[in-house]
Structure 1
Amino acid sequence: MSEDNSELARIYSTLSIQPSVVESMQPYIGRSSQDTEKGNSGSDDIDDENEKTETSGAPLSRQQTFLQKVQSRYSFFNENLNEHRKKLYLKFGMIYLTMAVGVLAIFSIYWGSMYGRNGRIQNLNMLVIIEDDTTINGIPPLFGDFLKQVLDTPLARARGNWHIFNSTEFGQIAVENNNNIEQELERQIHHQKYWSSIYVKPNATWNFYNAIITGDTGYNVTNSSIVSVYETGRDFMNMNLYITPSIQAVERLWLGSQANLTDTLVQHVNGSALSQAGAINILATPLNFVYYDRIKYTDPVLVAPSQVGLIYMVIITFFQFNFFSDLHMAIAKTGMHKHHYVLYRIFASVLSYFVLSLFFSLVSLAFQVDFTKAFGKAGFLVYWLLSFLTMWAVGAANELMALLCILVYPPLIGFWMLFWVIINIAPTFTPIALSPEFFRYGYSMPIHNSYEAAKVVLFNTYKGQMGRNVGILIAWVVLLTAATPFVIAFFGKTMMKRAQKAAKEEAEKKKKKEEEEEEAESGGV
C-alpha cells in the first residue's frame, strides 16, 4: 500500500498537484469499489474506515469529500424545503407581476399615441386658396369649382381639415399683414398655422381656355394652375408620411375629374380651334400640382440629433448619476454641513449637464451639421444652450426619481427610465394632432419643446414659438432644482433611520447570542 501511495504522490507531483491534496486523498487510495460503496453507506462506516486508517499509521484527513457534500444537500423538491419553495414562488410571482404592470402601463403610452392614427389625419389643418373664382367672358371658373367639389368628397375630407378661402377673403388677411396673397400664403405656412396648402392661381381657367383656342405651345399647363406650398423642415419625418400624401391624394382625385373639366370647357371652344396641334397637346397634358418645399430636408445625419439623439440625451443624464454616486457618498461621509452638501450636489449635477451637453453638441458638429441656418455663427452656441437646458431638465428628474426608487424598490429605476423616455417621445416624434387628446400633455414636456426649438436652429423654421419652448425648459429646471434639497434631505433621513434600525437589530442579535452562550456555559458547569 505504501509503495502505491508513494508512486501516486510522485505522479501528482509531476502534474503540479499540491501535497495537501494528495494527503487528503490518501485515506481513499487503494480502496476497492466494494469498500467505497460501504464507505458511502453511512457515517458509522466512514468512522470505522478512519479508525482503520489511523491504526495502520496512514495520515487521517478531516476534509469532507465532494461525495459527502453532495449527499448532505437536499433535493429542490425535498419536503424540508417546502417553506423555501413557497417563498421562492411568491417572490417570482411578485416580480413578474411588477414587470407585467410596468410593461403594460408604460408601453401602452407609446402604442396608444399611434393607435387609430389614420382616422385622425382629418385633424391636420390645410390651407386652400382659390383665386380662380370669377367668370370671365362667359368662361366659368372651372378649376376653382372642380377643386371645391373634389375637397367635398369623403375621401378628401378624410385626408385633412381643409380651410378654403376665395381671393377676397384671403386678400383681406394679406392686406392686414402688408402682403400680397402669395406672400401671405407662404407666411401662414411658415408660421405653422397650416401643415400644407393648395393654391389655385388667378384666372387659371381663363388662361387655360385661351391657350386652347390660340394653340399656344409656350403655355405651361402645370405651372399656370395649382401650387402646393409646405415646409418639410417643420417635421421632416412625418411630412412625407402624412402631409404630402394627403395633398397627393387630393391631386389624384383632381386628375380623375380632369376629363369632366375639359369636356365642360370644350363646350365653349370653337371646333376649328380644337384641330390645332397645340390645343390637342394642352388638353392631353395632366393638370398636375406644382409642389414647392420652402424648407427642404437634405441632410440625413439630422435624424440623429433631432430624434434618436433626444432619447440618448435622456439616458446619458442618468449615467452621470451612476458615475458620481460613489463620490457623492464619500463627500456625504465627510461631515459636511447639510446645506453645503445640497449645494454641492446641485452644482455637481449642473456642471455634469454642462459638460455632457457640450460633447453631445460637438458630435453633431464633427459630422458637419450646419448650425448657421437661423442664427449664423452663433447657431452652435444656441444649440448647446438648448441641449444644456434639456439635459438639466430631464437629468434632474432622473436623479430625483432614482433616489426615490432606491428608497422604495431599486429595480424600479429601470422602469422609470422607460417611462420617462416614452412619456417624452410619444407626443414628440409625431404631430400631436394625429394622437388622442390625452397626448396634448406633450406641449409641456421637455423633450417636445427641445425638439421644436432645435428645429429652428437646424432648419430655420418659425422662431415665434422658440421663446415658449425655452421658457418651458427653464420652468422644468427651476421646479426640479427647487425640489432637489427636499428629496435629498428625505433620502438622507430615511437611509439614516434604516441604518440605525439595522444596527440596533444587529446589536440585539449579538446580545442575545452572548446571553445564550453564557447560559450554556453556566448550565455545563
Structure 2
Amino acid sequence: MGEERDVDFSLSVRDPHIRQARNKTIKTLLMYFALMTVAVWALLSVFWGSTYKLEYYFPNVKVYVYDYDSAANPNAILGPSVVQYLVGTTSTRPHMGVIVRDPSGKTFDDVASEIVGEKAWAAVVINANATSNFEQAIAGTGGLLEGEWAPEGAISLVVAGSRWFQVILEYLLPFLGRYMETPTLEASHQAAASFFSSASPDALGTLTATQQAALATPFAYQNIDLRPILPKQWAGAAPLEAGLIYYIIFAFHIAIILLFSRMPLQQSMQKQGVRISWLHTCLLRLGPVFVGYFFLSLAYSLINIAFLLPMDGNGYAGFGPQGGFMVFWMLNLLTIFALGLAMESMLTLLTLRFFPFFLISWIILNITSSFFPATLAEHFYKYGYAMPFWHTTTATKHIMWGARNRLGLNFGVLVAWCALSFCTLCLFELMWRRIEERKERKQRAKDVEGQAK
C-alpha cells in the first residue's frame, strides 16, 4: 500500500497520460485571463471615466446669484462688483454654471428652499445691507453686529453640504471662495477709496477702532450650510461609499453559502432519480434568502446606531429617531434584496463559472453611480439614476442629515429592482429545467433506439 501511495504522488504535470486534461486546464485559464483583461479595460474605464476631466463639467453645476444689495441701494458698491465678476467667469473654463436671478419678491427662506430642493448646487447671496452697513459703520451710526464690525455678513455662500459632500466641500466651496476674493477685494478698495477721498484730516485722526476695522475689511463672505454633517457624524460616510460595497460582498457570501448548502439535497435527489417541482425549486431558492437578508439588513442598520449616526435628519426630517431607524432598516432591507436577488438571478443564469464577472460589473456600475454625481460626467453616467446604490445613498442622506426628501422614489425604484430580479430568477430556473428535460428526452430516445437495434 505504501509503494502504491508513493507512485500515486510522484506523477508529474508533464506526464503524457494527463496531456488532454492539462491542455484543457491551460485553455480554460487562458480564456479566463483574456476575459479578465477585457473586464479590467471595460469596467474600470467606466469608473475612471466618472472622474475624468471633472472640472470640465463644472458648468453643469448651477450656482444662483441673488444681488439684494443693488436692489436695496441705488449706489451699491458690492453687488455690481460681484455680479459683474461672476458673469465674467463664464467666458473661460473651468467655471461654474453661474445664473443671475431676480431677487424681487424672494426671501432668504425661498433661496434656502431652492438649495435644499436641489434647484441649484449653491447660491451667492449679496445681502441687502452689504453697502449700507459699511456706510453706517464708517459714519459711526450703526451697521454693527452685537457692537462689532462683521464684514462676513455682506455675502452668504449658501449650500446643502450633505447633498454630495465630496463635491460641495472639496470642490464647490473652494471654487466659490476663490471667486469671491477678487470682487470683494475690488469692492473693498473702492469703498475705502471713496471714504478717504472725501474725509477730512481731522476725521481721519479721530477714527474709532470699529471704523478702522470697517475700512480695513469693508466686505467679506461667509459659508452657510443648510444641511451640514455635524461633528462626530462623519462615520455616516461609510454607508454611502465603501459600506455598500461590503454590503454586496456579504450578499455574495450568502448566495455562495446557499448554493453549496443546496448541493447535498440536489445530489441526493439526482441519485434517487427524482426532482422537486418548479414552484418548490423557487421556494427553496428564495426562502433562505429572505431569512439571511432579514438579519443582515438588521445588523447593517444597527451598526450605524452603534456609531451614533442620526436617524432624524438632524431635525430636518419628518420623523423622530425611532421612526427614522425603522425607515433606515426598511431601506437597507430593500437594498439587500435589490442587490442580492440580482446576484441570485445571475448566478442561476451564468452558473458559478462565469458569475464572478457579473459580480465585479455589478459592484463597479453601482459604486460609480454613487461616488460622484452624473452632473460632473458624460451623459452616459445618467444610468446611475436607476441603480440601487444611488437611491440608497440619496435616501440615507435624507434620513441622517435631512437632505432632499426622495424616499417615495427611492423605495419605488428599489422595489422595482426586487421584482425584476425575483421574476428573472424564477424564469432562469424554469429555463434550466426545460433544458434538462430536453436533454433527458433526447437521451431516452437514444436509449430506446439503441435497444431497438
Q: TM-score range by the shorter chain?
A: 0.7 to 0.9
Corresponding position: 1:184 with 2:110: yes
In the alignment, which of 282, 304, 309 is matched to residue 238 of structure 2? 304
In the alignment, which of 353, 374, 385 is matched to residue 432 of structure 1? 374
Counterpart of 2:207, as a letter, is A
Secondary structure of the residue aligned to 1:295 is: coil
Kindly indicate whether the alpha-carbon contact (under 8 Å) linking 1:213 and 1:270 is maintained by their aligned counterparts in 2. no
* Cα displacement string for residues 137-194 of structure 1 (whole angstroms, at most 9, x for unaligned residues): xx621111100122023378734112212332xx2xx4xxxxxx11111111111212
Counterpart residue number, 1:459: 401
In the TM superposition, residue 100 of structure 1 has moved relative to its aligned partner by 0.6
- Write the distance in 1 (CA, Å) between the matches of 2:261 and 2:175: 56
Kindly indicate whether the alpha-carbon contact (under 8 Å) linking 1:213 and 1:274 is maintained by their aligned counterparts in 2. no
Kindly indicate whether the alpha-carbon contact (under 8 Å) linking 1:211 and 1:282 is maintained by their aligned counterparts in 2. yes
* Cα displacement string for residues 259-309 of structure 1 (whole angstroms, at most 9, x for unaligned residues): 543356337743454444233331112622111222221312212222221
Counterpart residue number, 1:158: 94
- Rg bigger for which structure? 1
Kindly indicate whether the alpha-carbon contact (under 8 Å) linking 1:453 and 1:469 is maintained by their aligned counterparts in 2. yes
User: For residues 282 and 65 of structure 1, do their structure 2 counterparts lie closer, same or farther at Cα, with a shift above 3 Å needed?
Assistant: closer
- Write the distance in 2 (CA, Å) between the matches of 1:366 and 1:280: 51
Counterpart residue number, 2:424: 483
- Write the distance in 2 (CA, Å) between the matches of 1:89 and 1:206: 81
Counterpart residue number, 1:35: none
Kindly indicate whether the alpha-carbon contact (under 8 Å) linking 1:212 and 1:282 is maintained by their aligned counterparts in 2. yes
Corresponding position: 1:361 with 2:301: yes
Give runs of aligned pairs for residues 36-55 of structure 1, distance below 5 A.
none
Kindly indicate whether the alpha-carbon contact (under 8 Å) linking 1:121 and 1:242 is maintained by their aligned counterparts in 2. no
Counterpart residue number, 1:195: 121
Counterpart residue number, 1:413: 355
Counterpart of 1:393, as a letter, is A
In the TM superposition, residue 250 of structure 1 has moved relative to its aligned partner by 1.3
Counterpart of 1:415, as a letter, is F
- Write the distance in 1 (CA, Å) between the matches of 2:109 and 2:392: 29
In the TM superposition, residue 237 of structure 1 has moved relative to its aligned partner by 3.0
Counterpart residue number, 1:284: 216
- Write the distance in 1 (CA, Å) between the matches of 2:265 and 2:8: 50
Pick which of 318-327 and 387-396 moved more: 318-327
Counterpart of 1:413, as a letter, is F
- Write the distance in 1 (CA, Å) between the matches of 2:124 and 2:9: 84
Counterpart residue number, 1:295: 227
Give runs of aligned pairs for residues 119-268 of structure 1, distance below 5 A.
119-134=56-71, 136=73, 140-154=75-89, 158-168=94-104, 171=105, 174=106, 181-214=107-140, 218=147, 220-262=149-191, 265-266=194-195
Counterpart of 1:133, as a letter, is S
Secondary structure of the residue aligned to 1:426 is: helix
User: For residues 386 and 451 of structure 1, do their structure 2 counterparts lie closer, same or farther at Cα, with a shift above 3 Å needed?
Assistant: same
In the alignment, which of 328, 331, 338 is matched to residue 386 of structure 1? 331
In the TM superposition, residue 495 of structure 1 has moved relative to its aligned partner by 5.1
* Cα displacement string for residues 84-126 of structure 1 (whole angstroms, at most 9, x for unaligned residues): 8876665543332111111111111111111111211221111
Pick which of 91-100 and 140-149 moved more: 91-100
In the TM superposition, residue 350 of structure 1 has moved relative to its aligned partner by 2.8
Pick which of 152-161 and 206-215 moved more: 152-161
- Write the distance in 1 (CA, Å) between the matches of 2:152 and 2:255: 59
Kindly indicate whether the alpha-carbon contact (under 8 Å) linking 2:188 and 2:218 is maintained by their aligned counterparts in 1. no
TM-score by length of 2: 0.83
* Cα displacement string for residues 446-472 of structure 1 (whole angstroms, at most 9, x for unaligned residues): 111111011111112222x22111111
- Write the distance in 2 (CA, Å) between the matches of 1:312 and 1:165: 44
Secondary structure of the residue aligned to 2:335 is: helix
- Name stretches of at least 5 consecutive residues in structure 1 with no aligned partner: 1-19, 22-62, 175-180, 512-525
In the TM superposition, residue 395 of structure 1 has moved relative to its aligned partner by 0.9
Secondary structure of the residue aligned to 1:163 is: strand
Pick which of 221-230 and 311-320 moved more: 221-230
- Write the distance in 1 (CA, Å) between the matches of 2:440 and 2:55: 56
Kindly indicate whether the alpha-carbon contact (under 8 Å) linking 1:189 and 1:231 is maintained by their aligned counterparts in 2. yes
In the TM superposition, residue 64 of structure 1 has moved relative to its aligned partner by 7.9
Kindly indicate whether the alpha-carbon contact (under 8 Å) linking 2:117 and 2:404 is maintained by their aligned counterparts in 1. yes
User: For residues 485 and 221 of structure 1, do their structure 2 counterparts lie closer, same or farther at Cα, with a shift above 3 Å needed?
Assistant: same
TM-score by length of 1: 0.73
Pick which of 335-344 and 450-459 moved more: 335-344
Secondary structure of the residue aligned to 1:461 is: coil
- Write the distance in 2 (CA, Å) between the matches of 1:318 and 1:269: 76
User: For residues 124 and 276 of structure 1, do their structure 2 counterparts lie closer, same or farther at Cα, with a shift above 3 Å needed?
Assistant: farther
Pick which of 97-106 and 223-232 moved more: 223-232
User: For residues 276 and 417 of structure 1, do their structure 2 counterparts lie closer, same or farther at Cα, with a shift above 3 Å needed?
Assistant: farther
Secondary structure of the residue aligned to 1:368 is: coil
User: For residues 68 and 226 of structure 1, do their structure 2 counterparts lie closer, same or farther at Cα, with a shift above 3 Å needed?
Assistant: closer
In the TM superposition, residue 389 of structure 1 has moved relative to its aligned partner by 0.7
In the alignment, which of 472, 478, 483 is matched to residue 413 of structure 2? 472
In the TM superposition, residue 378 of structure 1 has moved relative to its aligned partner by 0.9
Corresponding position: 1:422 with 2:364: yes
Secondary structure of the residue aligned to 1:462 is: coil
- Name stretches of at least 5 consecutive residues in structure 2 with no aligned partner: none
* Cα displacement string for residues 173-224 of structure 1 (whole angstroms, at most 9, x for unaligned residues): x4xxxxxx11111111111212222111114212212322337674524244
- Write the distance in 2 (CA, Å) between the matches of 1:245 and 1:432: 20
Kindly indicate whether the alpha-carbon contact (under 8 Å) linking 1:228 and 1:290 is maintained by their aligned counterparts in 2. yes
In the TM superposition, residue 422 of structure 1 has moved relative to its aligned partner by 0.8
Q: Which has the higher contact order (CA 8 A, sep 6+)?
A: 2
Pick which of 485-494 and 496-505 moved more: 496-505
Secondary structure of the residue aligned to 2:70 is: coil
Counterpart of 2:180, as a letter, is E
Secondary structure of the residue aligned to 1:470 is: helix
